[in-house]
Amino acid sequence: MSQATLRIQKISAHSGTVPGEDTQRQYQVCKLVDTTTCIGCKACEVACVEWNDMPFSPTAFGNTYQTMPETRWNYWNLILFNEHEREDGTLQWLMRKHQCMHCAEPGCLEACPADGAIVQYTNGIVDFQQANCIGCGYCITGCPFNIPKFNNVTKRMYKCSLCADRVSEGLEPACIKSCPTGCLHFGSKDDMTELAGIRAKQLRDHYGYDKAGVYDPPGVGGTGVIYVLHDATQPELYGGLPSNPSIPLAVKFWKHPLKWLGNIAMVGGLIGLFVHYLKFGPKAREEADLAPKGGA
Amino acid sequence: MKPRGMIGYHPEQIIPHDHILRYSFKERMNHWIAAGSFIYLMLTGLAFWTPWLFWIATMLGGAELSRMLHPWIGLVFFVSVCYMFTLWASQMNFEPVDKEWWNSLGHYIRNQDDQMPPAGRYNAGQKLLFWSFFIGGLLLLASGLVLWFTESIPWNLRWLRYLAVIVHAGTALLTIGNFMIHVYMGVFAERGAFGSVIRGDVSLAFAKRYHPGWYKEIVGETETQK
Ligand code: HEM
Ligand code: SF4
Range of the domain at B84: 24-88
Q: Which residue of A has its CA nearest to B47?
A: A113
Of A141, A266, A284, which is closest to B191 when you measure between CB atoms?
A284
Chain-centre distance of CA A53, in angstroms? Answer: 22
The tens digit of pLDDT for each residue in B128-159 reads 999 999 999 999 999 999 999 999 999 999 99
Distance from CA of A14 to the nearest CA of B (A): 6
Percent of chain B past pLDDT 70, that is, above it, reads 92
Residue A21 is predicted with a pLDDT of 81
Please report whether residue B49 resides in a domain: yes
Of A14, A150, A282, which is closest to B191 when you measure between CB atoms?
A282
Q: Does B151 touch chain A (CB under 8 A)?
A: yes
With a cut of 60, say whether residue A296 has pLDDT above it.
no
- What ipTM is given for this predicted complex? 0.91
Whole-number mean pLDDT of chain B?
90
Q: Tally the domains of chain B.
A: 1
Is there an atom of ligand 1 within 6 Å of B42 CB? yes
With a cut of 60, say whether residue A48 has pLDDT above it.
yes
Q: pLDDT confidence of B70, banded at 50, 70, 90?
A: very high
Please report whether residue B48 resides in a domain: yes
Q: Alpha-carbon distance B143 to B150, whole Å?
A: 10
Please report whether residue B80 resides in a domain: yes
Strands A29-34 and A225-229: parallel
Residue B11 is predicted with a pLDDT of 61
Backbone angles phi, psi at B202, to 5 degrees: -130, 160
Please report whether residue B223 resides in a domain: no
In SS3 terms, chain B reads as CCCCCCCCCCHHHEECCCEEECCCHHHHHHHHHHHHHHHHHHHHHHHHHCHHHHHHHHHCCCHHHHHHHHHHHHHHHHHHHHHHHHHHHHHCCCCHHHHHHHHCHHHHHCCCHHHCCCCCCCCHHHHHHHHHHHHHHHHHHHHHHHHHCHHHCCHHHCHHHHHHHHHHHHHHHHHHHHHHHHHHHHHHHCCCHHHHHHCCEEEHHHHHHHCHHHHHHHHHHHHCCC
The tens digit of pLDDT for each residue in B80-106 reads 999 999 999 999 999 999 999 999 999
Residue A287 is predicted with a pLDDT of 58
With a cut of 80, say whether residue A295 has pLDDT above it.
no
Q: Where are the alpha helices (DSSP H) in A126-217?
A: 138-142, 164-167, 174-178, 189-206
Please report whether residue B60 resides in a domain: yes
Please report whether residue B31 resides in a domain: yes
With a cut of 50, say whether residue B34 has pLDDT above it.
yes
Of B67, B204, B209, which is closest to A135 when you measure between CB atoms?
B67
| Residue of minimum CA distance from atom 8 in ligand 2 | A112
Q: Which of residues 65-84 of A touch B (CB under 8 A)?
A: 70
Tallying the residues shown for chain B, one arrives at 226
- Mean pLDDT across the stretch A257-268? 97
Please report whether residue B124 resides in a domain: no
Distance from CA of B10 to the nearest CA of A (A): 19
Give the residue, A292 or A176, on which the prediction is more confident. A176
Q: Alpha-carbon distance B59 to B64, whole Å?
A: 12
DSSP state, residue A122? T
**Count of C-beta atoms within a 10 Å radius of residue A208:** 9
Tell me which H or E stretch contains A31: strand A29-34
Could you tell me if A209 and A230 are in contact, meaning their C-beta atoms sit under 8 angstroms apart? yes
The amino acid at A131: A
Ligand nearest to the CA of A126: 2
Q: Does B111 touch chain A (CB under 8 A)?
A: yes
Q: Which residue of A has its CA nearest to B70?
A: A136
Residue B224 is predicted with a pLDDT of 46
Is there an atom of ligand 2 within 6 Å of A135 CB? yes
Please report whether residue B185 resides in a domain: no
The tens digit of pLDDT for each residue in A178-192 reads 999 999 999 999 999
Q: Does A1 touch chain B (CB under 8 A)?
A: no
Counting atoms of ligand 2 from 1, which one is nearest the CA of A13? 8
Q: Alpha-carbon distance A187 to A195, whole Å?
A: 10
Counting atoms of ligand 1 from 1, which one is nearest the CA of B46? 35
Is there an atom of ligand 2 within 6 Å of A95 CB? no
Could you tell me if A248 and A143 are in contact, meaning their C-beta atoms sit under 8 angstroms apart? no
Is there an atom of ligand 2 within 6 Å of A197 CB? no
With a cut of 60, say whether residue B225 has pLDDT above it.
no
